[in-house]
Amino acid sequence: MTRPISRRAALAGFGLAAASAGCLGRTENIAGRDPHSQLTLEINTTPADDDPNGIRIARQLEEHLTAVGIDVRLNTVGQTDLWRKVLINQNFDIYVGQFVETEPFDPDALYGLTHSKFIAESGWQNPFGLTEIAVDDLLDRQRRVAGDERADAVDALQETLCDRQPFSVVAFPDALTAVRRNRFEGWTEGRQPLSVTGLLELDAVAPDDGSGGDTDSGDGGSGTDGNATTGNVTTGNAMTGDTGDADDGDGADTDDGGGDVLRLVTTDDRITENWNPIAAEYRKYGTFTGLLYDPLVRADGESVVPWLAADWERVDDDAVDVSLRDARWHDGEPVTASDVAFTYEFLRDTSLGNVETPVPTPRFRGRSSLVEDERVLDDATVRLTVPDVNETAVSRALQAPILPEHVWSERTDAATIAGFEFDFETTEAVVSNNPDPVGSGPLRFVEATAGESVVFERNPDHFLGRPASDDAEAAEETTDPRGGIPSRYHGKPAFDRLRIEVLPSDISAVESVAEGLADATASNLGPASVPRIGRSDDARLVSGRSAAFYHVGYNVRRSPLSNPRFRAVIARLIDKSAVVEDAFNGYAKAATSPLAASADAVPESLTWTGETDPVHPFFDDGGSLDVAAARAELRDIGYRFDDEGRLLSRGQ
Amino acid sequence: MTPFLSVLASVVAWVGTMLAVASVAIVGPARLREAWSGLRARLWDARRAVAVLCAVLLASAIGRSSLQSVSELFGLQATALIYGLEGGFVAWVQATFALPALTAYFSWVYVYGYAFLLAFPVVAYLALPRTATLRRVLVAYALNYAIGLALYTAVFAYGPRNVMPDMVTPLLFTNQPDVMLLATEVNVNTNVFPSLHTSLSVTVGTFAVLTREEYPLWTPVAVPLSLSVVVATMYLGIHWLTDVVAGFALAFGSVALAYRLVDPRSDAAEPSGDADGECPGSGTGADD
């Protein structure tokens, strides 16, 4: 039935005769060759309970790959396991997943994702194993030049990446959220409980029961309101942002949905057991750890605002001076310039030299690697060595979370299990769950039950809640503790507590909001759960564009995925329009470029216009896969099939 | 949590009612009265089996979450294997048979019918003068749980609703999301191989056939009900056919083993505490 086996049977039968006939050499020449076998590829993705969309993309790809003669293994693994497999162990063929930034991001994000200098590292830096000089050059160029020149470099970069196709962008999902009415307002397209800025921008709904009179009186008012009103009426103390210590009152004890508790539900339980901002396999967008840890600078839409840094300026061709705001860690210690210096050194090598080869951070690597050295000038000023790159690249380098030296310097030893050191080439810092996280951010950790829930509370000492003294505000801006921060963040967050509860599926998450047990959903919603939102008068659907594009990632270290032409054929097996229509029910936008959500970044050549991909169009035959065309294309680029139509490859 | 408690209360109410009705109809008032008076002696007689079952349930309750982590890290990643083996069989079941009425029936069977199915034999066999069957059922339950837990740990796989959401609708959880809260309390979505719903139901069904002379009315109730549970696991998109086949094997294996382990001769006399307990390995397969 198959050629190799029948040939082998024949060889066995004729072996003796052949040997005696004196043509042993020829037989050896034939038998010594390895037979071809069918190509096997494994697709990894998360199960429907974890993410209702990714598995549907994987299923379509599985169906189409099978149709062209590839043996496909469709494997579902939990979210942590998927990233462990892909990012840490790099032991995968193909995966389907989402990018890690939900807010539109700068093109420089591709630097970490695809630069070949990160080839030997594990984490979000070049998980595909791409080594393309043309890509590297353009990545470096878009950091060096500015203005139109940079725009050109970014265009060329996208075209080159699209051509090499280390991953296939499938679609940008709409960020769908079920939201409870009358609890918090400001849930709009760009303000969802998915990103740090989205959560910080929320406002509490003003109470409609007449207790609004003591809105401005601060903690006293909120305390009595919170105790007197239960259920869904919110107290209005956080409206003006002038009640810095509002959580003295109701915040501490009301965990049951009253008062200013923002209650989110999610299917992702990782935040209930791990709060390590650099643990790649435990973070989705890093939203909640982003609220625990402040960066020096925060992206705010298309601009950047000084955050933990009061200001920064380039003082030299290779130096940037950063001055810090007056801030404290959640444990009361002051945030100093040496914490900043420590953080950047630590992100470069989390072992600080304790392990033979450096162990760089698995997250924030692309941006933080720009900082080459750091020097503490005084308690509140640090000089960072940053090569001569454009302002955008500098500000991205400043967007890594600042970690307290007194906590993380204890975690620089090689990771051990029960005191034994194994050759894992990693440090305690990378594998730590970071229990009782100590950050400096607007939220601080309260308590958690692994797999069930986690509670954060507002950090009353945070500079967002610290009003400027009246004279100073008028007189001199530099004394304003919130200088440079847009006023919509002043006094935020608008809740005293943030409670995140884990539920088994998107459907139960939506039900929970509809029944008033939660204020909003924070994880992906599938098409089956969306119609349920409309059935409750008190819940509504908020939909916005997310930048966390779904993509099919290839391990280009492995043959035949190492062949860009082969990857291009796989890209053409993905019917992106059908995915958007069927899997996402229209709540997504098909795309070619990873920058499709970033403003004005996509060149015309990569703009998705009609029904199909401008570069790698689907092998379309009236809505289904044109198998013959796909096979012809594979033959054209040098692949072969056996007589049963199976795609052959050398033993993998 | 309110939805969780309400679903739990409704399970208790349903099962309680069904148990009461079935006890009167199948066991009969006379036997029940008799059972009541001899209850303590019979329980004492079956103490070892009760203890074994309790120990297994306790171990499962305590160790499950850590075994789950072990399974995640070291278990055989079998989703692709199972899916490759049977493909879209479960999707075909749904596509061919799905009807709103059937969905309602199977959802009911999966939750309430199953709970009743497991609970009733304990009552019924407790009402028998000899405790051999009771002990065998309890030991068979314990074996099901213990082997099931071991296999859950050894095999890490997701069910069809998690792999083929485009073809398999998670009917139970779509129609009764509250039930999902209960289901996740008792089970994890990676514990699919083998189907314990199948194995325990088939265990009960097998015992019902073996004891048809004692309870002729129970057999025609138990067998269709247990087969309904088996179909429900696939119809609702929760289990693969592979899980169900393994469930049958586990059930028959557990029943056979329970017969081997539990010695019927020990309670040849009336149960009055004189039984010497079971001697493992002796007295195979003697029917009641």
Closest approach of B17 to chain A, Cα-based (Å): 28
Task: Provide the CATH topology of domain A37-101+162-173+548-649.
Answer: D-Maltodextrin-Binding Protein; domain 2 (3.40.190)
pLDDT of residue A233: 34
In this complex, is the C-beta atom of B193 within 8 Å of any C-beta atom belonging to chain A?
A: no
Residues A487-496: b if buried by 16+ CB within 10 A, e if exposed:
eebbbbbbbb
Residue A313 · residue A321 · CB < 8 Å: yes
User: Is this complex scored with an ipTM above 0.90?
Assistant: no
Nearest-neighbour CA in chain A from B191: distance (Å):
13
End-to-end CA distance of chain B: 46
What is the CATH code for A178-268+444-545?
3.40.190.10
Residues 6+ apart with CB under 8 A from A8: A35
Q: Do B165 and A515 touch (CB under 8 A)?
A: no
Q: Which residues are paired to A500 by β-bridges?
A: A264, A454
pLDDT of A417 higher than 70: yes
Annotate A46-60 with DSSP letters as a single string. --TTT-TTHHHHHHH
Average pLDDT over residues A153-162: 95
Q: Do B177 and A511 touch (CB under 8 A)?
A: yes
Residue that wins the pLDDT comparison between A157 and A357:
A157
Instruction: Give the count of domains, chain B.
Output: 1
Which residue segment(s) compose the domain that B176 sits in? 2-267
Q: Is B164 on the interface with A (CB under 8 A)?
A: yes
What is the C-alpha separation between A231 and A246, in angstroms, rounded?
Answer: 19
Domain assignment present for residue B63? The answer is yes
Per the DSSP assignment, residues forming a β-bridge with A45 are A76
The per-residue pLDDT for range A343-368, each reduced to its tens digit, is 999 999 999 988 888 999 999 999 99
Instruction: Assess if residue B100 is contained within a domain.
Output: yes
**Are the folds of A37-101+162-173+548-649 and A296-398+415-429 the same?**
no
- Please give the interface size between A and B, counted as residue pairs whose CB atoms are below 8 Å apart: 76
Contacts of B177 in chain A (CB under 8 A): 505, 507-508, 511
**Chain A residue with the nearest C-alpha to that of B159:** A47
**Range with lowest mean pLDDT among A106-120, B146-160, B269-283:** B269-283
Look at A177-181, A335-339, B8-12, B275-279 and tell me which has the smallest mean pLDDT.
B275-279
Q: Do the Cβ atoms of B158 and A451 come within 8 Å? A: no
Give chain B positions within 8 Å (CB) of A77. 77, 79
Provide the terminal-to-terminal Cα distance of chain A, rounded to the nearest Å. Answer: 22
pLDDT of residue A563 exceeding 80 = yes
β-bridge mates for residue A375, sequence order: A383
Mean pLDDT of A295-315: 91
Question: Which of A243-247, A271-275, A469-473, B177-181 is most confident?
Answer: A271-275
DSSP at A93: S
Chain-chain contact of B2 with A511 (C-beta, under 8 angstroms): no
Residue B139's pLDDT is: 94
Least Cα separation, residue A154 to chain B (angstroms): 37
Q: Is residue B26 part of a domain?
A: yes
DSSP tag of A401: B
| Torsional class of A511: left (φ above 0), alpha (ψ -120 to 50), beta (otherwise) | alpha
Say if CB B234 and CB B122 are below 8 A apart: no
Write the pLDDT tens digit of every residue in A67-92. Answer: 999 999 999 998 999 999 999 999 99
CATH superfamily, region A296-398+415-429: Dipeptide-binding Protein; Domain 1 (3.90.76.10)
Please check whether residue B170 lies inside any domain of the structure. Answer: yes
| Residues from chain B contacting residue A59 (CB–CB below 8 Å) | 163-166
Buried b / exposed e across A113-129, counting CB within 10 Å, b at 16+?
bbbebbeebbbbbbbbb
> Is position B141 within any domain?
yes
Please give the residue of chain A at the shortest CA–CA distance from B73: A81
Question: Which residues, including other chains, have CB under 8 Å from residue A185's CB and lie 6 or more apart?
Answer: A202, A203, A204, A205
Flag whether B128 is in a domain: yes
Condensed to tens digits (0 to 9), the pLDDT of residues B67-77 reads: 888 888 888 88
Q: How far apart are CA A452 and CA A78, in angstroms?
A: 16
Within a domain: B155: yes
- For residue A74, the chain B residue with the least C-alpha distance is B80
CA distance B242 to B170: 18
pLDDT, mean of residues A45-60: 91
Predicted structure pTM score: 0.84
For chain A, the structural domain boundaries read 1-30, 37-101+162-173+548-649, 178-268+444-545, 296-398+415-429
